[in-house]
Structure 1
Amino acid sequence: MSNRSPVAAPADGNRKAAWTLVVLAPVSAEATFSGVTMPAMWLLLPALVVMYGAGVLFLRELVVRFGGGWPSLLVMGLVYELVEDGLGLQALTSPNLYHAAEWGPRILGFNTVYWESQIGYHTVFSVLIPVLLADLLFPSHRGRPYLRRGGLATAAVAAVIGVVLLRLFIPATQDPGYQTPLSVVLAILIAITALLVIALRVLPGWNPPAAPAGRTPHRVVVAVVAGVAAACFLGLLMPLGLPPDHLPDGPAVGSGGWVAIPMIVAAAIAATAGWLVYRWSATAGWSDQHWIWLAGGALIGRTLFAVVTAPAANDYDWGSAGLAIAIGIVMIAAMAYLLSRLNQRIQSPQKRSVTT
C-alpha cells in the first residue's frame, strides 16, 4: 500500500483477498489474544467477523480508493477504535463496563487508560497487521481495491450492523442502563469526521520526509523488538484479570496520579516502535520477509503476554489458567507455522511495494 492518486475498482476485484481480510481481522484482534484468556470468545468469533472483518475491509477500501497509504490507514485505525469503543461498546466513557473506570484517571468522563490501551491495540492488531498480511498474501492487489462498488456498499452496511449488534449484546447485558451522553456522542462523531478528512483528503497528497539512511536490521531483531514493544505496551496499561469472572479492580501499574507515568512510558514505547519501523522500512535491504517477522513478532509477543499472565489473570485458578496457557501455546505455534509458510512463499529478498 502506498500513496497514489485515487484508484477505481477493477472489474474483477479480488473476492478471495477480501474474504481473507475479513477473517484475518477478528483472528488477529480477538482470537489470538482474548480467545486465550476467554475461551468463550471462540464461540463469538463468527459474530465478530461482521464488525471486525467488514469494518476493517471497508476502511481499507476507502483508503485505497482515495489513494492513501499506511499513514492514512493508521488514522483509520483511530476511526475504528472510536466507532467500536465509543459508539458500540461505550467503554470509553462507561463507569462500569470492564471496570475500565478503575484502570486509571477519568478525565471529562473518559476512561483515559482504557482509551490509550485500545487506541494502540486496535490500530495495530485490528487494522494494520490484518491489512499488511492480506497485502503479503495477495501482492498483485496491493494498493488496489478488493471490491467493486456493490461490494463496498455491502461491507459498509455489514460494518454498521456489526456495531449495532455489538451495542445490543454486550453493553445491554454487561452494562445495562448506561447510555453515552449525547454531547459525547456528537463529539465522537465530529472526531471521526475530522479523522476521515485527514485520512482520505489530507494524507494521500502528503509526502513524508525521507527517513535517515541506516542499516537494515536482522529479521530476528525486528521480531524481538516488535514482540517486546507489544508486551510492554499491554503490560503497562491493561490490568490483569480481563476474563468476565475476574475483572480488574485497579490500574496495571501505580495508583492515583502515578498512573500517568506508565501511560507516558507506554506512549513512548509505541512512538519509538513506530519510528523504528519507519526508519527500517526505508533502508535498501528491507524486504517482505522483514514485514512478516515484524507482524509475527508483534502477534506472538502479544499472545505470549496473555500466556505468561494467565495464572494471575485467573486468580491462580490453575484449571482456568492451564486452559488459557494451553490455548495460548497452540495459538503461538499455529501463528509461527503459518507465518513461516508465508515467509517461504515469498522468494525474492528484494524490497517490494509494501512501504510506509
Structure 2
Amino acid sequence: MMDSRVDCRAVFKAIVSPLLVMTPHFVVVAANDSFLKLVGRSQADLLGRDFFAVFPGNPNAPNDPDVQGVMRLHASLVRVVATGQRDTMALQRYDIEASGIPGVFEERYWSTINMPVLDPDGEVELIVLRTEDVTEFLQQLRLSGERDVTRARSELEAMRTDLYARACELQELNEELKQAHRQQRQTTSMLREAIERQRRFVFDASHDLRNPITGLLAELEVAIAEPDSDLHQLLRKLLLDAERLNDIVNDLLELARLDAAPPAPTEPVDLTQLVIDELKRRTLTVAVVTRLERQVVVNASRIRLARLLGNLVNNAERHTSTVIEISVTGDPPDAVLEVIDDGPGIAPADRERIFERLFRLDDACRRDPGGSGLGLPIAREIAHAYGGRLYAADHPTGARFVLRLPLAA
C-alpha cells in the first residue's frame, strides 16, 4: 500500500518549471533546482537576500527602453501584494549578472507569472515567481536571419524587434487597463457613498420637516375640537411652528444652492465692518466682546458671509453661559474670524461630526429642540466656496470656531 504522505520540499525541488518563493517584502526564501540552474546561482546566493539585490539589472544601460524589466517586475510584485491576485507579465528583457563574473551582464528575455500564497486571513504570505527563459528563442530568430539572404535576415530581425515591441506595448496596455479598473472601482465606491449620504439626508430632513407639520396639525385639530380655546395663544403656537418650518426649508434651499450652483459673485468685503454691521442689526440675549483689526478684506459674497457669521453667532448664543467673543485678525495669507463661547465646549471626537448635515449634539438638542442641524454645515460650505476653511479648534473653556479666508490682494 502506497504511503499517502508527500515530501512537499522534494516535490518543489524537482518541479521542471523554474520557481522562486519570496516574502511580500521580496526576500527570497526558496528556489527550486530548475531556477538555480537557469540563473546560475546556488541556494546560498539567494536565500535570505532581497531579490533585487541579487538581480539588480544591468546598470550600464539604465535609460534603455529595452531594460525596464527591473521596474516592471517590481511593479508586478507590488500589485500581487496589494490585490492578492496572480499577475501575468508580458515578455520582458531583464539582464542578469553572469555567474562568477561580477560586472558582466548577459542579455536575457523572460516570460514570468507572479502568484500569491494567502494566509488564513486572506493576506499575502508568500509570492511564487514562475518564469521561463525565452532568450534562446529570440536569438534563434536573429541567427536564422544571419544564415539567410539579406532580405530574409532583415525580415527576421524586424520580426524579432516587432515581437518584443508588441510585448512591451501589451504590458503597457495591461497596466493602463488595470489602472482604469482601479479608478472605476474607486469612482463606483464614491458614487455609492454619495447616494447613501443623500438617502440619509433626505430621510433626516423629512423627519425634521414632519415635526413642525405635525405640531401645526395637532394645534389645528385642538382648535376645531375646542371652539372656546384661546385663539390668540393658539395663533402664537402656530406661528412658532410655521417659523420653525420656514427656517428648515430655507436652510435646505440654501444647501441646494450651494451644492448645485457656482459661488455667488465676489466683491471686496471688510470682515471687521461686516461684524460691526451684523451685530448692530441683531438683538442678542448675551454679552458680546469684540477684538477687531481694521481693514481685513477678503473677496467673497457679502450676503453669504453674513449668513456664515449669523450661523456661528446663533450657535454660540445657544451654548454660551455669559459672553461671546468675536475677533477679526489678519494672519497672511489669511484673514481670520473667530467666534468663541463659554459653554460646555465640543469634544475632540465631535469636532468634525458637527459639520455633518442634520447632526446635533445632545447638549444642542436640550438647549434648542427646534434646531435643524444645518447651520454649521451651511457655514462650512460657504467657507469652502470662497477658498477658505471653517473648523472647531481647541479652547480652555467653551467652543471656538475659526474661519480662515484668503486675504484680498
TM over 0.5: no
Higher Rg: 2
TM-score, scaled to structure 2: 0.21
Q: Which has the higher contact order (CA 8 A, sep 6+)?
A: 1
The answer to which structure has the higher helix fraction is: 1
Output the TM-score relative to the length of structure 1: 0.24
